[in-house]
Structure 1
Amino acid sequence: MPEKTQCTIQVFKVHTLREMQEAWRIRNVVFVQGQGISLEGELDGLDDQADHWLAFCTTHGPVGTIRLVEHAAQEGTCKFGRLAVLPSHRGTGVGKALMRAMHDVTEVQGRYRTIMCHAQQDKIGFYQSLGYELLPGDTFYQERIPHRKMRKLILSQVDKSI
């Protein structure tokens, strides 16, 4: 098994086209090249409506990304997705750092009560370790990859002060 790259990770919100291009590059490596997802399936038209974060390794540059989209059909609900970490940095805490950054923003904003996701079946344990629960329902397939719906109920900063 190859040795994992260790470095200090910094996560920040994407604000520029250059940063968004780095997010797309990482997603292309992970989803299109790595998992065989079609480019059309990866670029689903939701990026313009989403908040995005990048994880930077102090020695290797951008190594991970995640996005968050408001769930139009359910008030107070958002959906994260496109959590992608380069293979060289998996298992080093990058995914958790991205999730924490996204959770911190949703709690401070106080706009959302529920975060949803379509979890790839082999990632369910990771999301459960972060407080997500499986929703009732069967496994479904997106781009030939088995998924399950999950959610996390969140408390805003206002809720925590009561």
Structure 2
Amino acid sequence: MTESIGMVGRVAGAAARGEEFRAMMGAFPTGVAVVTALDGAGRPWGMTCSSLCSVTLDPPTLLVCLRGESPTLAAVLERGEFAVNLLHDGAQWTAELFASGARDRFDRVAWHFDGGCAGPHLRRDAHSVADCRARTPLRVGDHVVVFGEVRGVTRGTPRPPLLHGLRRYTAWPHA
């Protein structure tokens, strides 16, 4: 028999409610990224994303989880490529802007796109950007997991990453 020490609450095996799950995951700090893509007409799209992780080094692959009805996901799937902008500690305003759904977000930030980019680069706000080829989208509930085969990495100004947890932003603590 297994005994739980120091845990209070529900019985193991009982189904979690959405708010319980949100509270649990909100207590798990994570880095903050903005996923960007261009649609078929060349319009930029982007959204703040904290559901991101590395998958494998060979080939270099990451995954992002995007809201199933988002125009950013539609652009990613249409073009088959996207960029992951890892935000630095001075980019909280940009994280909030891209989480807001404001239609004019790309008019309010500096961004760059050239033939080698898979999506807009937020150079002023990102410490690193990964250009990815979209692979194997998988719908899970109201989100779509998209694997990204990383075809290039651009390093920006070395700054600590922006973190999010407990419903607030913070910087990586200095040693």
More strand as a share of residues: 2
Indicate the structure whose relative CO is greater, using CA pairs within 8 Å and at least 6 residues apart. 2
Q: Structure 1-normalised TM-score?
A: 0.27
Q: Structure 2-normalised TM-score?
A: 0.26
